[in-house]
Structure 1
Amino acid sequence: ERTGRDVLTMEWIDGVKMNDIAGLAAAGHDLKAIATNLIQSFLRHTLRDGFFHADMHPGNLFVEADGTIVAVDLGIAGRLGKKERRFLAEILYGFIVRDYQRVAEVHFEAGYVPRQHNVSAFAQAIRAIGEPIHGQSADTISMAKLLTLLFEVTELFDMATRPELILLQKTMVVVEGVARTLDPAFNMWKTSEPVVGDWIAGNLGPRGLLTDAREGAKALLALARQALDLAARTDRLSREIDLMAENGLRFDEATAQAIGEAEARHTRSGRVALWVIALTLIYIAWKSL
C-alpha cells in the first residue's frame, strides 16, 4: 500500500533522522561514532562496491536503535568503474601522505590529463592545494573543498569533465557537512585513512596484483577457447578481401535487384519531373501570347 507508480517502498525503517541532533542524543547515540561510521561507510561503498548513494542529505539518513545507519531514497545514485576507483583512492591517499608527485602521475596514467602537459608542473600545482591544509586543525580541513580546488586546477591542464567524479564530489560535500554537524571537530582525513589505505593495499598491493593476474588469466583462457573460431573468421575475411581486390566489389542477387529497383524509381521520378517542367514552360509561353 506504500508503493505506487513512482515510488518503490522496500521496507519500513524505525529510526531517528540524522538532522535531529537532540533526538539522537536523547536516544543515547554516540554522535562522533555515527559521524565516523557515516564517512567510512560512504567511502567503502564508493571504493569497494563502485556504487554510492548520491543524495545523502540528513533527511535521507536515519539511525536505528542499535546505531545502524540507514539511507533511504536512492533516486540519485553514482557508479565508479575500477579505473575511477583507483584514481580516487590514490588521489586521496596521496594527499593524506603528501605524495603530490604520485597524485599528478595518477592523473596522467588514467588519461585524464593530456600527455603534452608536464607531470612535474602539474605536481607543483597540486602541492599548492595540498600543503596549506597540513598543520591546520581538523575542523577546518575539508576534503570536499580540496577536491573542488583540484578539479579547478585540472581545468588549467585540459582535464576533461568527468560527470561521475563531479557527482561524487557533490555528494562528498553533503556527507562531510552531515558528519561535521554531528561532530564539529570531525577529522575527515584521519577517518578516511583506514578505508582508503585498506583499499589500496587490497587492490594495488600484492593482493591486487594476484587478483589482476587471475582476471588476466581468465581473459587469456577465454581468448584461447575462441582461437580456432577467430582464426577461421580471419582466414575467410582474408580470402574475401583478396577476391574483392581481383574481381571488384560484388553484390548478391537480392542486393543487386534492390539497387536496380531504386534506380528505376529514381529514373521514373526524374522523367515525371522533366514532363512537369516542360508542360509548365509551354503553359507560360501560351499565356504570354
Structure 2
Amino acid sequence: MKYYDENTLIYLDGSYVKAFATGLDLYTQALHYGYGAFEGLRAYNTHNGPRIFKALEHFERLEKSCEAINIPYTWDNRELIDRAYELLSINNLRSAYIRPLVFSGSNMHLTSSTEARIMMAAWEWGPYLGQNLLKVEISDIQRPSSKAFPISSKISGQYINSILASSKAIKNGYDEALLLDQDGYVAQASSENLFIEKDFKLYTPPIQNIFPGITRKNVILICKKLGIELIEKRLTVQDIHEADSAFLSGTAAEIIGIKQVDHIIYKEDWEHTIGASIQRRYKNLVLENENYEVII
C-alpha cells in the first residue's frame, strides 16, 4: 500500500515536513544496524472526535525502549501526544495508525548513540491482519531470547525475525506465524500476543519471553471486568493444537480470531467464543461507546 503522497506531512524533529523531502541521513546506525525504537498507536473516529487510544502509555513505552538500548530520549511525552493530534489534523485523518520512530545519529561504530532524532507519521490503515479469521502456522524461526535482547522493547532490528517468520508463513499459504521461545514453548505471533480458549478459560503466555503488549494488557483487564478466568502459563504446541479457539491481540491487528493452526482447524464457532466477546468489548472501548475509564 502507499503510505504517503506529495502532500503528506510528517512530524520530524519539531517541524512538519513533506514526507518525500526529508533528506534523512544515510549514515545513521538505525539504517545500518537497526538501532532505533518505535511505537504503534491507533486513532479512532469516536463521537468525541479523533481519539488516540492509550496515547501516554505508548509514548512512555517508547521512552523505555530507548532507555533499554541507550538511545537519548529528550522529548516530553505529553507534548508528543499534542504533536500526534496535530499530525492527524493537518493530514485530515480521523481514523489512523500513528508511527513514532526514534533513530540514532551518524555513527559507523558499534557504540551507543549520543544523539537521536524523532519522526512521526500517520496513515489510514485498517486492521493489520484484515478482519477474516486467520490461518496460522508454527514457525521454525525462534523468538529472540530475553538474555540476548531487550525483548520487552520495540526495537527496530528485533523485527527481522518477525519479517522472516511472517513472510515464510505467507509463502506457505498461511496468514501469520507463531514463534517459539528458546525453550520450545509458544511465545507469540510475529507482532501480536496470543490467547487460547480451553474449557471456557483463557490462557496466554507469561511476560517473561513475550512482548508485553498494551492491547494484551487491556484484554486481561476486560477479562477481569467480565469475570472471565484467564491464566498466564507457558503453552506448548500441543496446547495450541488442542485449544477450543484462539485469537491474537495487538494495536495494529486489534483483536483477530484464529481459524486454523497448522493443519488443525478449530471446531468452535468463532462468534460463540470468549475471544469474540472480547473483540466486541474492545471495539466499544476504543470507540468510547463505553466509559473506558471505569472499565480499564
| Greater percentage in helix | 1
TM-score grouping bracket, smaller chain normalisation: under 0.3
TM-score of the pair, normalised by structure 2: 0.26
Larger radius of gyration: 1
| Greater percentage in strand | 2
